[in-house]
Amino acid sequence: MGEQVPSPVQVRLDELHARVQLNCEGEVATYIPALGKADPALFGLALATHDGHVYESGDTGVGFTIQSVSKPFVYALALYDRGLNGVLERVGVEPTGEGFDALRLEPETGRPLNPMVNAGAIVTASLVNGDDWGQRFQRILDGLSAFAGRELRVDHEVLASEERTGDHNRALGYLLRNAGVLEGDVDKALAVYFRQCSVVVTARDLAVMGATLAGGGVNPVTGQRVVGADTTEHVLAVMATCGTYDFAGEWLLRAGLPAKSGVAGGLVAVLPSQLGIGVFSPPLDRRGTSVRAIAACQELSARFGLHLMRPVNRTAPVLHRFLRGDSLSSQRSRRHAEREILQANSGQIAICELQGDLGFAAADVAVRAIADGLDGVRWLVLDLHRVGRAEPVAVDLLDTLVGELRERGVGTAVAAEDGESPVIAEASFRSLDEALEWCEDALIAQECPPSERAGLDPAAHVPLGEQDLLRDLPAEMIDVLTPLVVERRLAPGEPLFEPGDRPDETLYFVVSGGLIAQQVSGDEVIRMASMGPGTTVTRLTLVDDRNPYRIVAEEPTVLQVLSQTVQKRLEDEHPQVVEALHWAMARGLAARLRQADAQNHALLGSAVPVER
Amino acid sequence: MGEQVPSPVQVRLDELHARVQLNCEGEVATYIPALGKADPALFGLALATHDGHVYESGDTGVGFTIQSVSKPFVYALALYDRGLNGVLERVGVEPTGEGFDALRLEPETGRPLNPMVNAGAIVTASLVNGDDWGQRFQRILDGLSAFAGRELRVDHEVLASEERTGDHNRALGYLLRNAGVLEGDVDKALAVYFRQCSVVVTARDLAVMGATLAGGGVNPVTGQRVVGADTTEHVLAVMATCGTYDFAGEWLLRAGLPAKSGVAGGLVAVLPSQLGIGVFSPPLDRRGTSVRAIAACQELSARFGLHLMRPVNRTAPVLHRFLRGDSLSSQRSRRHAEREILQANSGQIAICELQGDLGFAAADVAVRAIADGLDGVRWLVLDLHRVGRAEPVAVDLLDTLVGELRERGVGTAVAAEDGESPVIAEASFRSLDEALEWCEDALIAQECPPSERAGLDPAAHVPLGEQDLLRDLPAEMIDVLTPLVVERRLAPGEPLFEPGDRPDETLYFVVSGGLIAQQVSGDEVIRMASMGPGTTVTRLTLVDDRNPYRIVAEEPTVLQVLSQTVQKRLEDEHPQVVEALHWAMARGLAARLRQADAQNHALLGSAVPVER
């Protein structure tokens, strides 16, 4: 398929926009005269996702003054600059049950009840960093711009209109200074507030600003951190309880989205962690909220399932896979005796791959499942490669679990990005395969009878006659073969076989040391498998145009090599030896294939049952 | 490991309980005299998870009267019985900014402002189903019991005390009847309300009740549905804005958990989708909320990261795997020519496995990723086995996408539980493997040159000389072999090979029809692979004590069979034929092993990059 597929979300957003456009109720605000000129047909609807994708429908590029929608963002800046308690001293966080222009101040402290009513917003604007009012406004303008991800400006016509008609707000200013919560020149404080309200934004801007609150303060489009995650938690909580004044309760009940509206017809709504919605449509209801914004958000919430209190993600699987050693083994070529030990004791190794973000609930499910699933286990591989973010509580719970396991004789190997485990464990590795190999080595060392220990030692020297591939061949065949193989020595790092090579040799017996197989693609080298003394590398499994393997010595390594020329001679002189070799190779390959197929099946089918 | 591992969450909960126990501030309530007898040292803390696990610390089994903590649960019952609008007619949902005993009614409607203050709760109790007051109270007692998951009872001593000292509530009752929102006998309505407040619960009960709200109305311990998910959304929204009266704003800001407190020292807090917390400790602060409950919830929220507005789960991966046909192929044994077609065109097949619950955000990410990742694709496998719950919006978005793909010539095969796809697609199957086989068959049919089409037809007849295994053998070897193989016919469903069989035959050439390999464990039969005309089954890959394969004919099938006895004779008379056979088998096995290894690697390493 070459052609671009239209986005299903865009399709639905456009349909919804067309429906809501038909709603012509409400009146354009006139109490600031410059706003009265707005076209009541304008309607922009934008949705910005946590990963910075922005869907837009209608007039999402039309500028309008932000008005009260600025309040939560300036509150965020003040919280970020002053800290929660520094702001709470001057502005409360309780809903008023009254309108945006509520005069009521808290009797004991003189604080305005919350930062979403004008009185609270005027004090909040005075609390952002800045040595003077000019610097404070610049901080506000820069902050709003960072939330939006573009440079915003002030509409001076609306500003002049606001200033001419701002006497109620001036009265609030003097009441606030009288109560001791606003300091300095009231006119200058009001000038900052009026300019803040006159900043021009679009519905798209509001969506991105909302998504920045949703994402813990990082603008998902620009990647810039604007405020901290604690700050956005607090701002969203206040938007939830106070964002739409005396309509806050019913708004949260119906739309289920913390939100803030403005008198120019703008509205921002936020689903924490997920998305921001920006709406612009000038006609307002009697409480001063855009009629189409209310309709669009409630319908979006219902159709897209966005209610904050909705039960969702209960089944998001935190266990990607939870397997035992019988369904997954490392890519180390094992000797027959080692394979037998691993098979007989496969239940002693457990492999647990976690995934997703680990917050409390996910970590709780994970530690419970692990603790309940370790019957008979002595070694645990904990693979964290698929974990996005592990919150402190998750690291703490995993640390505690690993510590408890250690006391019970269970060793844990962690596989994590760059081998850097956030959890304290016995060992940590870059890959699941290496972690699993470590567990297998430990298991073999523990279970191996003393008599065989020497032969399974990775430092062992395994002469031709004791090689695994030849173990069923009669002694006279070994005697035929012995003078025909050639010794070859490799230094650490020396390649035996480069991608694309088609060498003359057909069989390599590892006598001592060890080889690793690497897959090379561009600069990337991936460790695919490893082979120790007593195992065999055959050209048969390596030569493939699609698999550019490199075989390289991991340490000083001695091989016995059978060349194709010698094999040809053998075919004429001792066909039964070649026949026996091929049969042994086929048998070995079949065994490995069975294991690989079983592993494939385990990997494909090992979905952890979804909780219902 | 045999010994039980202590739960890390339990360890942390006990530590927190011990710390908070030391807080001895607050006073036991005395306005209902019977409550004044409570032991101020009592402190129970319980946490119930979405999957019904309950952690308990301290006095979680001590009974106390539920008091105002009953309000959200009875509100849930009323909403469930009357519908949202039926209840909103009588009780508002706006925060009052006042205490539990607020007298204020809404001027225009006479409604109490919300159901969390006493006035609203008295009206709410009158709205649950029941022909008379006795039935209504029984409905409330049964409902609270269902929320708790056990049969609750009334404390008659506290009830008598409530009734003796309930004049403020009686006054509210008459004001409410005067305003026209409470109907019938005020004394009887109050009697229901007093009895509701006198129901005895424990901290554990409150945790389970909260978890029931968190989980959309299904009690996670008993599995019983108590109310609907729409109802719990509405109840939790009202708890968030009004649950702790004039402390609601600061509570939501600091703890970030919808909650409700009671004067006997109980408190329930809820993290939607995730958990319920129940606390009991009698000493109250000046606003009537348990001091230790506030401390415990705020500390739990901070330490466990439970704030409702916290940015979490942004990275939960919705794409489990997104592969192309070059890294995953079906378990159908393919003829050489088929394999060549599949290899040359592997980019035309895409396999997308989704996982987790699909709400809006997850489905949005999924449809975007799929649409962006289909360059050159003609067939898409959509595997939904790992999807827990697909919300309507997710099904709608996937349907739209599949429809758009269809118009662009991309066919979609869905793999889902029981083959029942919630998404409308070209085909649906029980397993990913069958869906993938369907795509491969379609690709082969499309790309196969007309000259070869007959040979690749699943209904083809492939004589010995054209069998894939023998294609490099010289004609004279085929001539040696032909009279030695024996024809065998199988009816549909007839087994060739039962688990554990060790038959005399070593090679089976499929001439026509088809075989499937099944893994049998207990009653469960899993389709592992399939083999059509021209492919070979060798005993070598089947005989393994650990893999109890059954090979069975899928349709009328003709085989050519080489027995061990004949092979022994061949070894003596024509060793070069046996040698060539073994070599061909080894080569075939090596190719399959390479493919299986590559597939394993793709499956192990195909983590979709986590979004940052």
How confident is the model over B101-153, as pLDDT tens digits? 677 888 888 899 999 999 999 999 999 999 999 999 999 999 999 999 999 99
Q: Is-contact B213 B142, C-beta < 8 A? A: no
Which tokens sit at A21? 């456009």
- Residue B91 phi, psi (nearest 5): -135, 125
- In whole angstroms, what is the distance from residue A372 CA to residue A378 CA? 14
pLDDT given at position A611 = 28
Q: Is residue A606 in some structural domain? A: no
Q: What is the CATH number of the domain that holds A541?
A: 2.60.120.10
What are residue B529's DSSP bridge partners? B517
- In whole angstroms, what is the distance from residue B588 CA to residue A538 CA? 14
Query: Does B224 lie at the interface with A, CB-CB under 8 angstroms?
Result: no
Are both B420 and B496 inside the same structural domain?
no
Inform me whether the pLDDT recorded for B611 exceeds 60: no
pLDDT tens digit string along B466-489? 888 888 888 899 999 999 999 999
Which of A249, A271, A304 is a domain's end point? A304
Are both B440 and B464 inside the same structural domain?
no
Count of CB atoms situated within 10 Å of the CB of A508? 25
Q: How many domains does chain A have?
A: 3
Residue from B596, B447, B602 nearest B529 by CA: B596
Residues 482-511 of B with CB under 8 A from A: none
Query: Does A432 lie at the interface with B, CB-CB under 8 angstroms?
Result: yes
The radius of gyration of chain B's CA atoms, rounded to the nearest angstrom, is 35
Query: Does A48 lie at the interface with B, CB-CB under 8 angstroms?
Result: no
Q: What is the DSSP code (8-state) at residue B265?
A: S
Q: What is the CATH number of the domain that holds B396?
A: 3.30.750.24
Interface contact flag, A248 B241, Cβ < 8 Å: yes
Are both B450 and B469 inside the same structural domain?
no
CB pairs A-B closer than 8 Å:
402
**Number of residues in chain B:** 612
- C-alpha distances (whole Å) from B384 to each of A245, A355, A600, B331, B533 are 43, 18, 19, 19, 32
Identify the closest residue of chain B to A88 by CA–CA distance: B250
| Mean pLDDT along residues B244-273 | 93
Are both A397 and A339 inside the same structural domain?
yes
- In whole angstroms, what is the distance from residue B133 CA to residue B195 CA? 11
Interface contact flag, B12 A247, Cβ < 8 Å: no
| Mean pLDDT along residues B575-594 | 80
Identify the closest residue of chain B to A386 by CA–CA distance: B607
Q: Which residues span the domain enclosing A338? A: 319-455
Query: Does A274 lie at the interface with B, CB-CB under 8 angstroms?
Result: yes
Q: Is-contact B440 B509, C-beta < 8 A? A: no
What are residue A382's DSSP bridge partners? A352, A414
Q: What is the CATH number of the domain that holds B70?
A: 3.40.710.10
Count of CB atoms situated within 10 Å of the CB of B484? 18
Q: What is the dihedral of CA B36, B38, B40, B41, to 10 degrees?
A: 170
Q: Is residue A1 in some structural domain? A: no
Q: How wide is the angle at C-alpha A305 spanned by C-alphas A300 and A310, nearest 5°? A: 130
The verdict on ipTM greater than 0.85 is no
- In whole angstroms, what is the distance from residue B475 CA to residue B491 CA? 31
H or E segment to which residue B412 belongs: strand B411-415
| Facing A600 at nearest CB: one of B304, B571, B603 | B603
Which tokens sit at B214? 């968190």
| Facing A256 at nearest CB: one of B237, B304, B375 | B237
What are residue B353's DSSP bridge partners? B321, B383
Which of A304, A337, A371 is a domain's end point? A304
Amino acid at B199: V
Identify the closest residue of chain B to A258 by CA–CA distance: B309
What lies within 8 Å, CB to CB, of A3 at 6+ separation is: B408
- In whole angstroms, what is the distance from residue A330 CA to residue A346 CA? 12
Burial label, B108 (beta-carbon count in 10 A; 0-12, 13-18, 19+):
exposed
Q: Is residue B571 in some structural domain? A: yes
| Facing A311 at nearest CB: one of B216, B253, B587 | B216
Are both A187 and A61 inside the same structural domain?
yes
Interface contact flag, B364 A49, Cβ < 8 Å: yes
Confidence bin at B612 (pLDDT 50/70/90): very low
Which tokens sit at B188? 């009887």
pLDDT given at position A606 = 38
Are both A395 and A468 inside the same structural domain?
no
Say what angle helices B8-21 and A392-407 make with each other, to 10 degrees: 110
Which of B404, B437, B455 is a domain's end point? B455
Residue from B337, B339, B341, B254 nearest B289 by CA: B254
Are both B443 and B468 inside the same structural domain?
no
Which residue ranges of B are tagged as binding site? 68, 118, 162, 169, 193, 245, 263
pLDDT given at position A388 = 78
Q: Where are the beta strands (DSSP E) in A370-468?
A: 379-390, 411-415, 427-429
pLDDT tens digit string along B262-310? 999 999 999 998 899 999 999 999 989 999 999 999 999 998 889 999 8
Q: Is-contact B237 B310, C-beta < 8 A? A: no
Interface contact flag, B241 A95, Cβ < 8 Å: yes
What are residue B153's DSSP bridge partners? none
Mean pLDDT for each 10-residue chunk of chain A (612 residues)? Answer: 73 94 93 86 96 95 97 98 96 81 81 93 97 96 98 96 90 93 94 97 98 96 96 96 86 96 96 94 94 96 90 67 83 84 92 86 87 91 87 89 91 91 91 92 88 72 87 88 92 87 79 86 77 83 60 92 85 83 80 75 51 26
Count of CB atoms situated within 10 Å of the CB of B389? 16
Tell me which of A55, A75, A245, A508 is the catalytic residue. Answer: A245
Q: What is the dihedral of CA B553, B554, B556, B561, to 10 degrees?
A: -30
Are both A296 and A323 inside the same structural domain?
no
Are both B346 and B464 inside the same structural domain?
no
Are both A32 and A163 inside the same structural domain?
yes
Q: Is residue B1 in some structural domain? A: no
Amino acid at A479: D
CA atoms within 13 A on the CB side of A563: 10
Q: Helix, strand or coil for residue A425?
A: coil
Query: Does B31 lie at the interface with A, CB-CB under 8 angstroms?
Result: no
Q: Is-contact A78 A128, C-beta < 8 A? A: yes
Query: Does B364 lie at the interface with A, CB-CB under 8 angstroms?
Result: yes
Q: Helix, strand or coil for residue A523?
A: coil
| A68 given a catalytic annotation | yes
Mutate to test the interface with B, among A253, A417, A437 (most CBs of B within 10 A): A253
Which residue ranges of A are tagged as binding site? 68, 118, 162, 169, 193, 245, 263
pLDDT given at position A313 = 53
- In whole angstroms, what is the distance from residue A453 CA to residue A547 CA? 35
Task: Give me chain B's average pLDDT, please.
Answer: 88
Which tokens sit at A24? 């012509």
Are both B423 and B466 inside the same structural domain?
no
pLDDT given at position A592 = 77
pLDDT tens digit string along B349-386? 999 999 877 888 888 888 888 988 888 999 999 999 88
Interface contact flag, A309 B585, Cβ < 8 Å: no
Are both A59 and A100 inside the same structural domain?
yes
Interface contact flag, B575 A575, Cβ < 8 Å: yes
CA atoms within 13 A on the CB side of B514: 16
**Number of residues in chain A:** 612
> Cβ contacts (< 8 Å) between B92 and chain A: which residues?
249-250
Q: Is-contact A445 A435, C-beta < 8 A? A: no
The distance of Cα A332 from the centroid of its chain, to the nearest Å, equals 31
> Cβ contacts (< 8 Å) between B7 and chain A: which residues?
367-368, 371
> Cβ contacts (< 8 Å) between A79 and chain B: which residues?
none
Burial label, A535 (beta-carbon count in 10 A; 0-12, 13-18, 19+):
buried
Q: What are the DSSP calls for B37-91, one per residue? A: GS-TT--EEEEEETTS-EEEEESTT--EE-GGGHHHHHHHHHHHHH-HHHHHTT-
Mutate to test the interface with B, among A230, A245, A247, A304 (most CBs of B within 10 A): A304
Which residue ranges of B are tagged as binding site for substrate? 68, 118, 162, 169, 193, 245, 263
Interface contact flag, B315 A357, Cβ < 8 Å: yes
Q: Is residue B236 in some structural domain? A: yes
Q: What are the DSSP calls for B2-22, one per residue? A: -SPPPPHHHHHHHHHHHHHHT
Interface contact flag, A97 B92, Cβ < 8 Å: no
- In whole angstroms, what is the distance from residue B113 CA to residue B94 CA? 6
Q: Is residue B328 in some structural domain? A: yes
Q: Is residue B259 in some structural domain? A: yes
Identify the closest residue of chain B to A276 by CA–CA distance: B361
Amino acid at A11: V
Which tokens sit at A267? 């509205």
What are residue B508's DSSP bridge partners? B537, B561
Q: Is residue B439 in some structural domain? A: yes
Q: Is-contact A268 A246, C-beta < 8 A? A: no
pLDDT given at position B455 = 67
- In whole angstroms, what is the distance from residue B359 CA to residue A313 CA? 8
